[in-house]
Structure 1
Amino acid sequence: MFKYLRLILAIPMLLVAVSCSTQQQAGATPGTDPDLEAKARASLQQLAGSAPRTQQLMQAAKAVLVFPDILKVGFIAGAQGGKGVMFAPDGSVMGYYTARAVSYGLQAGGQTFSEAMFLMSDSAIEYLNSSDGWSVGMGPSVVVVDAGMGKSMTTTTLKSDVYAFIYGQQGLMAGLGVQGQKISKYTP
């Protein structure tokens, strides 16, 4: 019984420790993270290759927030976290963000995945930058798009503030749980 309790408590602690680690790149410009930017750009290319309609979505978006590597682990209690980059329509970097979440419920396993959030309005960007972190489920309306909808959506059907794509899942995570995600700005 105590082994399981320790495991349940250790998983979120490990995830927090991993997501809080900050390694500065040798020779990198202060306030930038070239490795994270490269991973985010490659991840966005992967999404565009698997859901070609996202190209149109990128052209209509005011910004795209990409988390190339989110790690999710859990056993009854779970946690996830990762770092990402917000890109302007011209491809320039608008900022760096962390995404963290905790969950509780019938769940077990671990996985990594990528997430891209297309911010369609200036108010969504302003809310993200002016609030003390952005909790998905509060603030702008967020629509999670699956692969099937991503192939059939058009720019004329877009009505929400944010469209989120989850893709590139690796690993095994099963179960049902209640979860909220918090996105906050950080400086590398």
Structure 2
Amino acid sequence: MNEASRRAASAARVLDQVMAVPDKAIPRELLERAQAVAVFPGVLRAAFIFGGRGGKGVISRRLANGSWSAPAFFNLGGGSFGAQIGASKTDLVLLIMNEAGLQGLLKDKVTLGGDVSVAAGPVGRSASASTNVRLDAGILSYSRAKGAFIGAALEGAVINPDNDLNRAVYGLKASDVLSGRPPIEMRKLPRGLQLFPQTVARHAR
């Protein structure tokens, strides 16, 4: 439970930091339209020539009643992205924008750019949220390294549920946590686990 709380709290902190500078943040209207939000803090990158990376993160889904689900735990690996070569650690934020992107997460494994379309997301107040090419993508992706927060293509990255941790915390698989069935009483969860959905809700009003 401690690991789960740390992971959720870390993801909440990353999202708060990203949204703290409106001119360089994710456009709020995109967050308001997102069906789910994923954050993978401190993704470790191997040398760029190998294009490797791996990280652990959390995903919360907007439920039918407008609230956000408890954080489900996921792993990320594979693929490559070249916008921030040389960074040893990168924070990744993904906005799942449509049903196709959401359904991909409910599978055992989803490959970005393969199973579901992905595009670098626009940044800042002046970014047009009506850019059809970007909004047609199932997932909009962002990365932050060395203080810079930018849209970043994540072609080939693989996201799969960390169901050992999901079962240890909830007794459920990730797909069940994200579906909201059966309902999880957030107020009964440790404070660390409550932080991520609360942070997403605050920024996605």
Same fold (TM over 0.5): yes
Q: Indicate which of 57, 63, 83 corresponds to 2:30.
A: 57
Q: Show the counterpart of 1:13.
A: none
Q: Show the counterpart of 2:142.
A: 165
1:96 equivalent in alignment to 2:67: no
How many angstroms apart in 1 are the aligned matches of 2:115 and 2:48? 29
Label 1:154 to 1:41 Cα distance change in 2 as closer, same or farther (>3 A). same
Identity %: 25
Structure showing greater relative contact order (alpha-carbon pairs closer than 8 Å, 6 or more residues apart): 2
How many angstroms apart in 2 are the aligned matches of 1:76 and 1:124? 29
Amino acid at match of 2:137: S
Q: Which has the higher strand share?
A: 1
Q: Can you give the 5+ residue segments of structure 2 that lack an aligned partner in the other structure? A: 148-154, 166-205
Q: CA deviation at 1:165?
A: 0.8
1:152 equivalent in alignment to 2:123: no
Structure exhibiting the larger radius of gyration computed from Cα positions = 1
1:47–1:54: 8 Å Cα contact kept in structure 2? no
Q: Show the counterpart of 1:85.
A: 58
Q: Indicate which of 36, 43, 63 corresponds to 2:7.
A: 36
How many angstroms apart in 2 are the aligned matches of 1:47 and 1:69? 14
1:145–1:166: 8 Å Cα contact kept in structure 2? no
How many angstroms apart in 2 are the aligned matches of 1:43 and 1:183? 19
Aligned length: 149
How many angstroms apart in 1 are the aligned matches of 2:111 and 2:10? 24
CA RMSD of aligned residues (A): 3.1
Label 1:99 to 1:114 Cα distance change in 2 as closer, same or farther (>3 A). same
After TM superposition, the runs of 4+ consecutive aligned structure 1 residues lying more than 6 A away are: none
Q: CA deviation at 1:126?
A: 1.3
Label 1:73 to 1:53 Cα distance change in 2 as closer, same or farther (>3 A). closer
How many angstroms apart in 1 are the aligned matches of 2:25 and 2:97? 18
TM-score (norm 1): 0.66
2:18–2:26: 8 Å Cα contact kept in structure 1? no
2:35–2:96: 8 Å Cα contact kept in structure 1? yes
Amino acid at match of 1:186: D
Q: Can you give the 5+ residue segments of structure 1 that lack an aligned partner in the other structure? A: 1-23, 172-178
